[in-house]
Amino acid sequence: MFTGLVQTTGRIVHLERLGEERRVRIEAPFAADLRRGESVAVDGVCLTVTRRADAWFEAVVSPETLSRTTLALRAPRDRVNLERALRAGDRLGGHIVQGHVDGVGVVEAMRPEGTGARTRVRFPAALSDCIVMKGSIAVDGVSLTVADVRGRCFEVALIPETLEITRLREYAPGTAVNLEVDIMGRYVVEYLRGQAAGSRSGPAVTRDDLTRHGFAGKEGTR
């Protein structure tokens, strides 16, 4: 489990095909402290350390992960967001992030806002019920608060600290990003779907359902 508070960035130094899998070697500041079998979030994707040295660690990326995340698009020299797994007793400063990517979004706009920036991301239709105003979402592993939702796009505000520590400052229109919705929100949606399935036919849950039960604000409000 992770918090979405990315600790640093690393750099991919080697990629190797292993049949349908890929072995990735990542240069990381904390590599010397890792142990085999540990979990590390790489751009929000939970990977298991298979080997490490003082300056790098390796992990094997499964075909399933390659098909559902942006890791299939990565190349040597690319930077990635890194977060080590949460330890018992650590502060949960962001929100609960599992490292299980729900879908890939695309950056539509990135503009300055105050001392930070504001980013608009288009998300897959399948995530529509789980992305709500003021809810949490992990973008490439970074815990962010949804500032606005309009149709199939959401916006997030990026503070200077986030821009400095993560690679989000490199975003531009067309950048593909890993998205993981808030696990608590996902459970709420599944609960409401179950309730609705027993009382009516048609769509199992709508944004009106979420608003009526107090889990979402009205679309387009700020």
Residue 203 located in a structural domain? yes
Residues 6+ apart with CB under 8 A from 203: 196
**In the predicted structure, residue 200 carries a pLDDT above the cut 60:** no
Q: What is the pLDDT of residues 91-104, one digit of tens each?
A: 777 788 999 999 99
Q: Supply 132's token pair.
A: 């709500």
Domain boundary, last residue among 51, 84, 117: 84
User: What domain count does the chain have?
Assistant: 2
Residues 6+ apart with CB under 8 A from 207: 128, 129, 132, 216, 219
Residue 220 located in a structural domain? no
Question: What phi, psi does 193 have (nearest 5°)?
Answer: -60, -40
| Secondary structure E strands in the chain | 8-18, 21-27, 39-42, 45-52, 56-61, 79-84, 103-113, 116-122, 136-139, 142-150, 153-158, 176-181
**In the predicted structure, residue 193 carries a pLDDT above the cut 80:** no
Residues 70, 142 within the same domain: no
The residues with which 10 forms a beta bridge, in sequence order, are: 80
Closest to 145 in 3D by CA, of 128, 159, 157: 157
Residue 219 located in a structural domain? no
> Where is pLDDT greater, at 208 or 161?
161
Least confident residue range of 104-113, 131-140, 172-181, 197-206:
197-206
Residues 142, 203 within the same domain: yes
Q: What is the pLDDT of residues 19-39, one digit of tens each?
A: 999 999 999 999 999 999 999
Closest to 60 in 3D by CA, of 20, 101, 21: 21
- Residues 39/15, Cβ–Cβ less than 8 Å: no
Mean model confidence pLDDT for the chain = 90
DSSP structure class, residue 54 = S
> What number of CA atoms fall less than 13 Å from residue 51's CA on the CB side?
5
Residues 73, 107 within the same domain: no
| Structural domain span for residue 14 | 8-84
DSSP 37-51: T-EEEETTEEEEEEE
Average pLDDT over residues 1-14: 94
Q: What is the pLDDT of residues 36-45, one digit of tens each?
A: 999 999 999 9
Tell me how far the alpha carbon of residue 142 is from its chain's centroid: 6
Q: What is the pLDDT of residue 198?
A: 65
**In the predicted structure, residue 201 carries a pLDDT above the cut 60:** no
Q: CA angle at residue 16 from 79 to 101, to 5 degrees?
A: 55
Q: What is the pLDDT of residue 83?
A: 97
Domain boundary, last residue among 84, 113, 138: 84
Residue 130 located in a structural domain? yes
Q: What is the CATH number of the domain that holds 65?
A: 2.40.30.20
Q: What is the pLDDT of residues 142-189, one digit of tens each?
A: 999 999 999 999 999 999 999 999 999 999 999 999 999 988 877 777
**In the predicted structure, residue 60 carries a pLDDT above the cut 60:** yes
